[in-house]
Structure 1
Amino acid sequence: MSRLPDIFLRRPIAHRAYHDRAMGRPENSIGAVTAALDAGYNIEIDVQLSSDGVAVVFHDYDLRRLTHHAGRVNALSARALADVRLRDCDEGVPTLREVLDLVVGRVGVLIEIKDQDGGMGPDVGALETSVAEALRSYVGPVAVMSFNPHSVAAFQCLAPDVPIGLTTSAYSSDGWPLLPAKTREHLRFIPDFEKLGADFISHEAADLDRSRVAELKAKQVPILCWTIRSPEAEKSARSVADNVTFEGYPA
């Protein structure tokens, strides 16, 4: 039986928190997290690693798209990243611990550990360690996932009581141009789910008709999906998925 807390199936999940740049709350920002809390949505956030080994809440590897600063996230300390202004607001890059201290169990927090290996390989560990440390004293519904099965395995060793999942995809060549074809072919069929003892998947919405997804659903595995951007797409996705990760509209 899956250990995924029921709240992740009852309330929609705000992708990168409930962000809206026009409203001054960019993705993965404290403002976006606050808006999700106010609306009662669960929150999906991404974490990267600072130069001093701290899990920070940020999606990209590079700062350019989301801030007024150029360069890689892992080139700066957590303190320096806090001083890097996000676009469209007067906030810096928050740490995972800061976000958890704000949420304090009011909604579910779904944490995606971004691949640090560069090719979904085994060169992982530091970010997983920081996430586990941040969660050690946290009380509230939480789950951790990654596209990289090695990352999930590393985190599981550090925090065996936290529900784990795989972020999964069709792994098209267009969507994953830098990932070797052999790796894409391997991951496409979600072969590591049983070996990891994973609790759920969060699958690419456009690929929900994959037979492997149906197989896992038949085994009562919770199916989340990403990323839904309209009520119509949500209705379609819910014919397969147990819950949606959404953005750009009120779910």
Structure 2
Amino acid sequence: MPDVETQLLGGTANRGLVVRVGDTVRRPLRASSTATHALLEHLERVGFSGAPNFLGVDSQKREVLSYVPGETVTPPYPAWSMTDEALDSVARLLREYHQAVAGFDPAGLAWAEPVPPAYVEDLVSHNDPNLDNVVFRDGVAVALIDFDLAGPGSALWDVATAIRLWAPLRPDADIADARRGRTLSRLRRFADAYGLDETDRGRLVDATARNHVWCMDYVRRGAETGHPWFHQRWTTGEAELTDRTNQWFTEQAEALRHALQP
């Protein structure tokens, strides 16, 4: 009997193309797959359990990864995923990933989406710790998945990405869940839980605003080149939300900086 393939939900770039087969996950190969596989192999060597293991390439030319059991956060967001305790655990997991990846040399490998040079420092960042790219068990973040956008970056850039998505950093009117009205307190809480140092706290607000531009430009370019899911996302409100959020970052910059002060 052939192996049963079960489609996994979430994501945009590979929506509908990621399947579970037994205790493995099969995903399309990309131009940056060799780099991503080298990264995952490093994480396995150093004993980091918070990422899937690379197991090879199957007969259909798909990468084969170990399946990480647990739950990811997809709409409608479950109540447990919006708690401060869940937020804290994401921050701690990201810190553990940065400690594990610190010895990995990215030189000579082709990565997917360059991070702005001001935020390329000393490690390979995940670059997309979105809600559906974090695996939870019993309400605690235990693993990062979907390393497609990983590449040379910095801890600051990853923290900016995660805070922007998990706080979240956007106008209150565009937050339709229990996080509405709690942006500033969750921003500070994530920075504290991660243990962000004073220097990076001073750079964090600018980094989050720049990260939003970087991410939305990636989505826009995907839409313009005909990717069906990016096109749907961009043309059903994302472009307008992007403009509102960019304006919000300008208007709220001082309040965001104040929230991070000791």
If the TM-score is normalised by the length of the shorter chain, which range does it land in?
A: 0.3 to 0.5
Higher-strand-fraction structure: 1
Higher-helix-fraction structure: 2
TM-score normalised to structure 2 length: 0.32
TM-score normalised to structure 1 length: 0.33
